[in-house]
Amino acid sequence: MLRKKLQHKNIILASGSPRRQQYFKELDLDFTIQLKEVEEVYPNHLKAEEITNFLSELKAAAFEHLNENDILITSDTIVWHEGKALGKPKDYEDAFQMLKSMSGKTHEVITSVSFKTNVKTETIFEITKVTFKEISDEAITYYLENYKPFDKAGSYGIQEWIGLIAISKIEGSYANVVGMPVDKVYDKLVEL
């Protein structure tokens, strides 16, 4: 459906995330992948979705020249927990501490998606609440050693083993936790 609607548009996904790329394939979209190196640094005063909005728009700003029929899509995800942003872990120890801190608690997964054309940039975001049951140190160690989630915000992938054994409740979009609020992205592309 979208393919026909957007047949005269050039969709550019600026994301190296295999999960986001898979979602775009599943939406049956023709798209290309273009990546630009961006230093993901944000002002300290930003909180929650202000961070992901800022970073998603920063990634979009790296693409200075777009053609009339281009739609560039950038995205950023963080885990927001106890007033702090948990991005991708620095190392094994950092990943372990992140998962330990979320054990038995609820955190928020926040994703922002920016849509840039040659005339404007619009950004949407989604917040999903995820509750972990208590996770043993042994389970955290097993997960980190076998799944190596070091490229993921908050050090976990909901679609992996840890999601099956440790998540007791989700409020909101599951797809958002995997990597992108696909329903909102779809609606925005229909609108564009």
Kindly list the catalytic residues.
76
**Count of positions (residues) in the chain:** 192
Residue written as token pair 């992948």: 33
Q: What is the dihedral of CA 9, 179, 75, 1, to 10 degrees?
A: 20
The tokens describing 50, both together, are: 């202000």
- Amino acid letter for position 112: S
